[in-house]
Amino acid sequence: MTDQQVVDQAPHQLFIDGEWVDAENGATFEVRDPATGRVLCEVADGSPADGMRALEAAVAAQPEMAASTPRQRSDWLMAAYDLLHERIDDLALLMTLEMGKPLAEAKGEITYASEFLRHFAGEALRISGDYQVAPAGGARFLITRQPVGPSLLITPWNFPMAMGTRKIAPAIAAGCTSVIKPAHQTPLSMLAFVDILREVGVPVGAVNAVTAMDAGGVMEPMIRSGLARKLSFTGSTKVGKILLEQCADKVLRTSMELGGNAPFIVFDDADLDAAVEGAILAKMRNMGEACTAANRIYVHESVIEEFGDRLARKMGEMRVGPGTEEGVQVGPLIDEAAQEKVVSLVDDAVSRGASVLTGGSAPDGDGYFYLPTVLAGVPTDARMATEEIFGPVAPLTPFSTEEEALTKANDTEFGLVSYVYTTNLDRALRMAEGLESGMVGLNQGVVSNPAAPFGGVKESGLGREGGSIGIEEFLEVKYVGIALP
Ligand code: NAP
């Protein structure tokens, strides 16, 4: 299929109560290709009333969903897994067109997204309880798990499908209905996935999708309505804090996957080849637009020059261009604002004394590209030491002792992931225990895995997605006290 055929074939409407429908007022918004700035299509611009209709459909479908068997829910997820793989080429092209990432990475994301379906298809079958004798006798405890209920799911643009399946799969596995709102920049991948759920026979109203330009205006009435029981959000810490306040009103269960500021620490005893490879993965996956992206790279002073040269050579060789072109490794950033932010962060670091080892600018021409960049000697007062860069920029800072590395790494309000490269086992364990983050990559530059608990501490969030714990986010524990005199 051509690019346009792939775009035209994806749904462009709201999915409410089992039907694809226009926004009530007929409004639409544009979706653009970040590699060219060209408009790909128009998508329904849902209103607050559309959002409430979607939530009411989820509420109405909740009893049927809760009564479905674990085997049935597992089968829906596996059928969706199969269809994602059958259609992976078209879906990857669709994702690259709306989001920008190179085709190979888009395929990688769809595979990753599908693994949440397979993982939670298994977890659906393992929801368990307990039976216990009261310590003083005279009673028994029956402990069981039930679906939390209708859930609101909000996802960002950087992983347009995986951030959605990471929520929808455990919600279905647990027997929860949902309304998902994808980011306005990248609605098409999620709408295509929701259509797959329709095809595999997920009950009417069990999954609904609302796209909107005014995310806050549409979501707030749903959150405050008292009809939803849960909000699962992936996005910025700033928006996460607003949503936590709104959720307090009706005491919604919350899962918050928020921003990061990952330290990447290379000790003098590290395997430098592996550390450079790991840094490229941790930095350049998704053009640096990942919450897990290495944001601060601390390298021991005795190896920093060697490490910087090797990293700069490899990053400087990476091919930049539209993600649809064969061989491209670095696509455009999501939009003009993202490009401007990276430009200003690099300019700020350079004005404070950092030097450019490679890159350091946005290339001329269409699209929101930025060259893979390595900066040496980035001072700790540079803005990029505390702000998420969300671009292909690797800032290097030297350290001399293990204690200094740990202190610098933990000197942030974020705590999603940290990376450590060392061949010293004692040091590796000391660092893994001392780092204030929900996840640590030891001698590896990617930690995401659907079978592992993903999530952060401090202002990086609340709760975990994936792993055997991921389904717990959508389950309530109920205790039944039974008299047995
Ligand atoms: P964002 O601005 O917070 O947006 C995330 C989602 O929230 C989008 O769907 C957005 O809709 C919606 N939204 C924005 N304002 C809202 C409001 N007032 N009420 C309800 N929903 C609202 O974040 P982003 O720029 O898309 O994504 C990048 C951020 O996500 C980064 O900070 C990154 O670290 C984080 N992230 C975290 C994880 C993780 O697992 N921890 C994973 C990926 C990304 P619209 O886009 O339509 O406005």
Parallel, antiparallel or unpaired: strands 151-154 and 139-147 = unpaired
Which sequence spans correspond to the domains of the chain? 3-259+460-480, 262-413+417-449
215 Cα–ligand 1 center, Å: 10
Please work out whether the CB of residue 291 comes within 6 Å of at least one atom of ligand 1.
yes
- CA–centroid distance, 165 to ligand 1, in Å, is 16
DSSP of 282-306: HHHGGGG-STTSEEEEEEETTTHHH
Contacts of 401 (CB under 8 A, 6+ apart): none
In CATH terms, are 3-259+460-480 and 262-413+417-449 the same topology?
Answer: no
Q: Pick the catalytic residue from 109, 115, 247, 291.
A: 291
Token pair for 46: 């849902």
User: Model pTM greater than 0.95?
Assistant: yes
> Which of these, 389, 287, 281, 284, lies nearest to 331 by C-alpha position?
287
Give CA–CA dist 285/390, Å, rounded.
11
Q: Which of 335, 358, 334 is nearest to 346 (CA)?
A: 358
What is the secondary structure of 106-140 as a DSSP string? HHHHHHHHHHHHHHHHHHGGG---EEEE-TTSSEE
In tens digits, the chain (485 residues) has pLDDT values of 899 999 999 999 999 999 999 999 999 999 999 999 999 999 999 999 999 999 999 999 999 999 999 999 999 999 999 999 999 999 999 999 999 999 999 999 999 999 999 999 999 999 999 999 999 999 999 999 999 999 999 999 999 999 999 999 999 999 999 999 999 999 999 999 999 999 999 999 999 999 999 999 999 999 999 999 999 999 999 999 999 999 999 999 999 999 999 999 999 999 999 999 999 999 999 999 999 999 999 999 999 999 999 999 999 999 999 999 999 999 999 999 999 999 999 999 999 999 999 999 999 999 999 999 999 999 999 999 999 999 999 999 999 999 999 999 999 999 999 999 999 999 999 999 999 999 999 999 999 999 999 999 999 999 999 999 999 999 999 999 999 98
Q: Tell me 465's DSSP state.
A: B
**Cβ–ligand 1 contact at 247 (below 6 Å):** no
Domain 3-259+460-480 belongs in CATH node 3.40.50.300: no
Is 291 one of the catalytic residues?
Answer: yes
User: In the annotation, is 257 catalytic?
Assistant: yes
Query: Residue 299: beta bridge partners?
Result: 266, 398
Closest among 9, 39, 12 to 23, alpha carbons compared: 12
Q: Answer yes or no: are the C-beta atoms of 314 and 276 closer than 8 Å.
A: yes
Going by CA atoms, what residue is nearest to atom 46 of ligand 1? 183
* CATH 3.40.309.10, domain 262-413+417-449, yes or no: yes
For residue 7, how many C-alpha atoms fall within 13 Å in the half-sphere facing its CB? 18
- Record the tokens describing residue 466, joined without a space: 């994936």
